[in-house]
Amino acid sequence: MKSSLWPIVFNKFYRRCLSLVLLFLTAHALPAAAAQILEQNLQLQSAQYSGQQLIEIIKKQANAQVSYDETVNGRLGRNITVRKKHTSVKEVLGWLKTDAGITYNNQGNFIVLTVIQAGGAQDSKIMGKITDETGQPLPGVTIRIAELNRAAVSNAEGNYSINAAPGNYTVDASYISYETQHISSVKVKAGENTLLNIGMKPSTKSLNEVLVTALGIKREEKSLGYSAQNVTSKSLEDAKTNNWVSSLSGKVAGLNIVSTGSGPVSSSRITLRGESSLNLDNNQALIVIDGIPVSNRITGTGYKAHLAADSPVDFGSDVSDINPDDIEKVTVLKGPAATALYGSRAAGGALIITTKSGQRNDKGLGITYNGNLSFDGVMKWPDYQFEYGEGRTDKYYSYGDSPDGVSTAAAAAQGRAFGPKFNGQMYYQYNPNSPDGKPTERTPWVAHKDYISKFFNTGITRTNNVSIEGGNENGSGRLSVTHLKNDWLVPNTGFERLSVALSASQKISDKLKISGKANYTNKRSDNLPLSGYNNQTIMYFMILGTTPNVDIDWFKPYWQPGQVNIQQRLPFNPGPDNVYLQVYEMLNKINKNGVIGNVMANYTFNPKLELMLRSGVDLSNEFRSQQRPYSMTKYPKGSYREQTVFNFESNTDILLSYKDKFSDKLKFSLSGGGNLMKQTYNFAGIYADQLAQPGVYQLSNSLDQAVADPNKSEKAINSLYAFGQLSYRDLAYLDVTGRNDWSSTLPYGNNSFFYPSVSSSFILSDIFSLPKAVSFAKFRFSWAQVGNDTRPYQTAKYYDKIYSNSFTNPATLFNANLKPEITSSFETGLDMRFFQSRLGLDLALYTNNSRNQILAIPLDPISGYSSALLNAGLINSRGIELQLTGKPFNNPKFKWNTTVNFSSNRSYVRELAQGITNQVIYNHDTNVSIEARVGGRMGDMYGRGFQRSPDGKIIYASTGVPAELDPTLKVFGNAFPDWKAGLQNEFTIKNFRISFLIDGQKGGSVFSQTSHKLNTLGKTKVTLPGRDGGIVGDGVVLQPDGSYKPNTVNVPASKYYDEYYKITNAEVNIYDASYIKLREARIDFNLPAKLITKLHLKQVMLGVYGRNLLIITNFPAFDPEAANLNNGTITPGVELTQFPTERTFGLNLTLKL
């Protein structure tokens, strides 16, 4: 490793933070949870105590809870003789039995004392099993006999027992989110046990779960005036992927995720509620982990994905590096009202990630092992043809000049497959055993149907996680270690990741609680593949470098004989670099260390007033290198590059909260605080793009002086915020928030902006008398204003550093009066539950107006700048989101939960700058562009298409191919879908759990570079018509007099398809991206409780799962969920020879001790 993270991590501040977390974990949380309660040590000072004094000692020293009735209380005044001063809880309880006639029963750290009956007979027992609404065992329920003040807690199997003397009793069973069950007149007879099974019912008052909202504040869902949704850790783990973000697809209404499809650590673009900014990066959702915003920045190398000097490498992002085994839940805050307290970072919504914390464990440490083994194949292939081989015509084939004639292979064919039909005829073909490949004899002309698929491996990912957690009433802790090893589909690619998560909390006093979390990740890879359409990319080779008559194994000897490290072997099309040279010699390495963590202190002055102080960091440091061998098309003398990328963000929050009530009906809360945020980004690259000696990859081997490529930026935002809530009888809520940001990226006098929000909710089911079928009904609405500021160095002139000791003028003219983009949002919604929450509906309607768009307006080059920045424009977004939940079957033998979500969004361009009618968001080398035009939709895709007659027929030239394209740019699609939907189902049948997810979208379009090139080269089945007799295009020919007559000219298939599908024709190369996917499926089996009890385990679960099992789509390439990576920006709607999407099958084992 060329660079280390630790000198940076363990600076003075963060060393103290981590030390504090470790101190709490080791000194407070774990020791108390490590021993069984009866084995806890006690230190006694006197030779004699009263029974009451001993009980207090047990409570204090062993952190035990002790319950007893009046009969026991009468005996606790007796003196108990101390046998030894260094003893245990169990021994002391034995002394109570001998000296006071008191016996005990314990569940975890809960001890119940009873009096031994006369003659040594014990009380009778009330015993039974506690089950939930589905009939499944429910552990942790408190069962109490009211008359005796005696209680027990149900165990893992739901069983409980309580000693009771003969008589009639009232038994209460209580558990969070369930109605307390009162069973009266429970009769206990002398010498007999009374069986009392209790079924718990969900509380109608707890229909709304607790959600983590902005700033990490926990709120009841019923009080929220905006839309939010929880995704549990179990849902994320059902079908694991290398990037956990993909596991959110199809599960949240309004959430859209697209991947670069560029390798094993493919980055994702995460958006909520469509596009509100002309800057694609500004539309991404904010990511917050344990209250701390983190970076989703992509810092891949390479400028762009299409025919650039250096194609991109996707090294992933900080978000994709998060270990899903450590995520507790993800709360999706969809609209500006939900995220207004994040101010200028909130326009795109937010994902609030809560990582796992230590849980109280009365039986000692809780240990969990989670092992996962998955296998990846290819989900979908293009519709390749295997009927015709290499060549431009079907006359004959010859590799090189031969007795049969001149060569029709290699450079002459340039990767085309319009050659002879495969009929087993004998041709002079490539000889893999010859140094120069020249044939010595004829061989059969046959198709190698695996000429593409044979190259790809079965990907394997092995994941092992061990977590240890424990705690007591004063503190808790958790330590988790995860190792992931991935061998990807492409040979010699993959990555390895080590994750360590540490969390601890400690109650220092009745008023002060301190907690901390730290997540460390080390990701390394010896090779990540290049992506895009370029000579040096794998998928480019798969399109142009080989044909159906070629065995891919012929390329494995990738050096010319006697020229190792000097000259590659290219037996066919000389354009693409040899694919095996790419995977074994063109290496892109990474070693990345990252830490995300925080320390938080909560001080409670009194029950009404509380202070929170939190400081956290998101820090990563990575070292990368790229090596390119001699004889590459782009680097004939080879190349070696190194980069060090440092990314740091710190956030410090202070929040003072006060809650009180004006009366029993009217309650309120007020909070105020501030945030200090600082970002630092430092990219240091050194490039040696010609090597003196082949195969020596060191900067010192540079033929010329190595070139430096530095890039550094800093940014700070200081903020003050306040918010309050008013609650009337817990049936009407009003929330008001305000935040003011001062941003360093905006000019003085223009850098202060206020972001307000107002939201309200009304519990209709408590206000009105609704039909009995309605369990719960809430109406909500909200208004908010949030922003998007700009990146650093846009408000004053600065100079670009292009190489060592040199500077150049920036290409974009600065603007000293820039303002942030402002998004104003209005949302209304309805949340209803029916039939005791068996059926649920959540509906949201919203509209957003985004003003002050930061535009780069083209300038005349004579000005010295290519563009200028200004604030202008208005984008209007409207949408609907719907989620339906149901429990069609809900009984002990069979349980079925189902969820349906639907969302639709339209974003329209209402205004641009004065005199400007369109703004280019992305331009694919003038072939297709994504543009914002006044009156159009965000994401409209413009390009040229066929000339057509008045009745819509294609106009052909006199040569029989389509005429020159219509010069007028037209809309041929939109990069964003019309609507998306998802269907989740979960079935529980005794110890089996079966779940699956189907999701899809209607609309959206993708320009496919893969399909364009495969079609022009004749490698797909769509190009089979006309191979034998040529093609007469279906259309008309324009006559000199302006009339039209049918086209009758026959042209060879090779010529026809080359013209028909040419890259400048956006009309035929833009495809509908609609699809339906069987995204996930899983079957779990939990070993029966009796068996795991014998094994001294808490849970054993075996699971099998699949991901991307089936797709239905008309998209011709690999996956319609396609995007490309350009200079760190993920651009949807354009596919540039993406890698295949993985179809995954996996095995999972979970053990809990």
Backbone angles phi, psi at 542, to 5 degrees: -60, -25
Residue that is written with structure tokens 């109650």 in the block = 507
Token pair for residue 1072? Answer: 């509908």
Which amino acid, one-letter code, is at 143? I
| Of 779, 725, 826, residue with least CA distance to 213 | 725
Q: For residue 955, what pLDDT is reported?
A: 97
Rounded CA separation 238/1105 (Å) = 7
772, with CB counted inside 10 A (0-12, 13-18, 19+), is: exposed
Per domain, the residue ranges of the chain are 6-200, 228-377+459-536+586-939+975-1004+1073-1152, 948-957+1008-1072
Task: Please state the rounded mean pLDDT for residues 696-711.
Answer: 93
Give yes or no for residue 120 having a pLDDT over 50: no
Give yes or no for residue 8 having a pLDDT over 90: no
Of all residues in the chain, what percent are helix, strand and coil, respectively (each to 5)?
15, 50, 40
| Of 349, 230, 216, 334, residue with least CA distance to 286 | 349
Which amino acid, one-letter code, is at 1142? E
Q: Supply the mean pLDDT for the chain.
A: 88
The larger pLDDT score, comparing residue 674 to residue 804, is at 674
DSSP secondary structure letter of residue 905: E
| Strand, coil or helix: 1030 | coil
| Of 771, 790, 910, 888, residue with least CA distance to 839 | 888
Of the CA atoms within 13 Å of residue 308, those in its CB half-sphere come to 18
Same fold for the domain at 6-200 and the one at 228-377+459-536+586-939+975-1004+1073-1152?
Answer: no
Give yes or no for residue 18 having a pLDDT over 50: no
Q: For residue 893, what pLDDT is reported?
A: 81
Q: For residue 798, what pLDDT is reported?
A: 66
Q: What is the enclosing helix (H) or strand (E) of 31?
A: helix 30-34
Q: For residue 939, what pLDDT is reported?
A: 94
Rounded CA separation 175/164 (Å) = 22
| Of 1050, 1013, 1027, residue with least CA distance to 389 | 1027
Give yes or no for residue 30 having a pLDDT over 50: no
Q: For residue 23, what pLDDT is reported?
A: 38
CATH number of this structure's domain 6-200: 2.60.40.1120
Is the CB of residue 275 less than 8 Å from the CB of residue 283?
A: yes
Helix axis angle, 1009-1016 relative to 1053-1060, nearest 10°? 160
Q: For residue 14, what pLDDT is reported?
A: 38
The larger pLDDT score, comparing residue 354 to residue 413, is at 354
Backbone angles phi, psi at 728, to 5 degrees: -110, 110
* DSSP annotation string for 548-605: TTS-GGGGSS-B-TT-TTT-B--SS-SSSPPHHHHHHHS-EEEEEEEEEEEEEEEEEE
The region of weakest confidence among 77-81, 277-281, 788-792 is 788-792
With a CB cutoff of 8 Å and minimum separation 6, the contacts of 771 are none
Q: For residue 107, what pLDDT is reported?
A: 62
Strand-pairing partners, residue 903, are 881, 980
Rounded CA separation 143/159 (Å) = 10
Identify the CATH assignment for 228-377+459-536+586-939+975-1004+1073-1152 out of 2.115.10.20, 3.40.718.10, 3.40.50.300, 2.40.170.20.
Answer: 2.40.170.20
- Per residue in 852-867, pLDDT (tens digit) is 888 887 777 777 777 7
Q: For residue 757, what pLDDT is reported?
A: 95
Residue that is written with structure tokens 């004939």 in the block = 636
Rounded CA separation 1068/1013 (Å) = 12
- For residue 85, the tally of other CB atoms under 10 A from its CB is 11
